[in-house]
Amino acid sequence: MFPLFGNCSFLFFFLFFFCFLPRLCFPTKITAGQATVITTDDHNATWHNFTRFKDAEKGSHVSCISELKKYFQQFGYLSIPNNQNHNFTDVFDAQFESAVVSYQQKFELSITGKLDSETILTIMSPRCGVSDISPTIHATKHFAYFYGRPRWDRGSSMTLMYAFSSTDMIDYISLPKIKTVFKRSFSKWASVIPVNFTEIDNYSSANIRIGFFRGNHGDGQPFDGVLGVLAHAFSPENGRFHLDKDETWAIDFEKVKSKTAIDLESVATHEIGHILGLAHSSIKEAVMYPSLKPRSRKVNLKLDDVEGIQALYGSNPNFKYSSLLAYENSYNKAINLNQRSCSWTFSIVVVVFFSLFMIT
Ligand SMILES: *[C@@H]1O[C@H](CO)[C@@H](O)[C@H](O)[C@H]1NC(C)=O
Ligand SMILES: *[C@@H]1O[C@H](CO)[C@@H](O)[C@H](O)[C@H]1NC(C)=O
Ligand SMILES: *[C@@H]1O[C@H](CO)[C@@H](O)[C@H](O)[C@H]1NC(C)=O
Ligand SMILES: *[C@@H]1O[C@H](CO)[C@@H](O)[C@H](O)[C@H]1NC(C)=O
Ligand SMILES: *[C@@H]1O[C@H](CO)[C@@H](O)[C@H](O)[C@H]1NC(C)=O
Ligand SMILES: [Zn+2]
Ligand SMILES: [Zn+2]
């Protein structure tokens, strides 16, 4: 059909189809689904041993599946029934099945109610420690807020101050480099909402307090070692921003070879979303999606993130949707370059498509 593009011609159908959808639907769809496949063979990584529950389904009695139920409880999908004496059983019951279904919905997986391989791989993926669903989270179709939609309120020209802990930091990345990464992450959010972020030295008087912690660190949400939970942050106007010190944090994968390396900037950008009041999104490409593969980057806000945060704070007067779309294009191009033979074709077609779209 389009010999020039060979087996990429399906992309034309794809784009053609989206021409007829409202403009806002488009950008969240243009990135290819990023599989949350764990890319590590580190068997010590937290949750790696959940593979043994693969293919379990309702009705089966699975030894130690109560461990997995605790995981579902931790992220808000399950609570212990009153008649079970504060312990989960090892039975794959109807309640657990419906927890699996809501998990699959939240993560945009096929809804099977079973622990199929896609679901297990997603469960094992390292992720943010903030709960996905709970009575305190108000979920919309995609992006979500904490209950009551809390936000920072400092009048019309808002500046929030952030500071790094002087004691709870990592030493294998220099402080200036860490500061540069955070500055960039904050500026991503500042460019879409009328909020400025300024770094100050005084940790105790800052609005946003950033530190690296290991294990139990006094807020009732202990970190869990390598992978598993990577970081967590609290909703407005709390400002606590904690990263798991046991991760191999990285800012340049060329220099860090570890298979479990985690991109600091991606996690920083995600946690700032919580600090500002966003909960987890079910859009895979969104920064506010709960999980992140090791050795992967997701640092640019997607339309879903922008819509969510602007509904809380309004738009930055200088923000333009067109620049967001250009961003998404260049991001896709970079990501796809290594993975897809037809990435260039795809990006070029998207750019052309957008030009047409703007004119009409
Ligand atoms: C995994 O755990 C074993 C025993 O607990 C330990 O000897 C080994 O060094 C660990 N491997 C890694 C990569 O942490
Ligand atoms: C699975 O991992 C958890 C946490 O790392 C550990 O407590 C548990 O003993 C492991 N179970 C098996 C069967 O290895
Ligand atoms: C719950 O489980 C723990 C550890 O598996 C056990 O020590 C405890 O007795 C159990 N509690 C009840 C009420 O069954
Ligand atoms: C943020 O800072 C810039 C430059 O200092 C300033 O022009 C702008 O008004 C500030 N915005 C807010 C919301 O304070
Ligand atoms: C930091 O801020 C706190 C609270 O505002 C204040 O009591 C303290 O003196 C400040 N410390 C420094 C070194 O400025
Ligand atoms: Zn999160
Ligand atoms: Zn914490």
pLDDT in tens, 192-237: 999 999 999 999 999 999 999 999 999 999 999 999 999 999 999 9
Residue positions annotated with a catalytic role: 271
Q: Which atom of ligand 4 is nearest to the CA of 156?
A: 13
Note the pLDDT of residue 246: 97
Nearest CA to ligand 2 atom 14: 49
Residue identifier of the C-alpha nearest atom 12 of ligand 1: 44
Smallest-distance ligand from the CA of 229: 6
Where do the domains of the chain lie, and which CATH numbers do they carry?
Answer: 3-28+329-359 (no CATH), 54-124 (1.10.101), 137-313 (3.40.390.10)
pLDDT for 32 equals 27
Task: Supply the pLDDT for residue 335.
Answer: 45
Low-confidence ranges of the chain (pLDDT < 70): 1-43, 83-84, 134-141, 325-360
CB-based pocket (< 6 A), ligand 1: 42, 44
Q: In sequence order, which residues have a C-beta less than 8 Å from that of residue 157 and are 6 or more positions away?
A: 194, 196
> Residue 165 Cα, ligand 5 centroid: separation in angstroms?
14
Question: What is the value of pTM for the model shown?
Answer: 0.75
Is 308 annotated among the ligand-binding residues? no
pLDDT of residue 136: 54
pLDDT at 306: 95
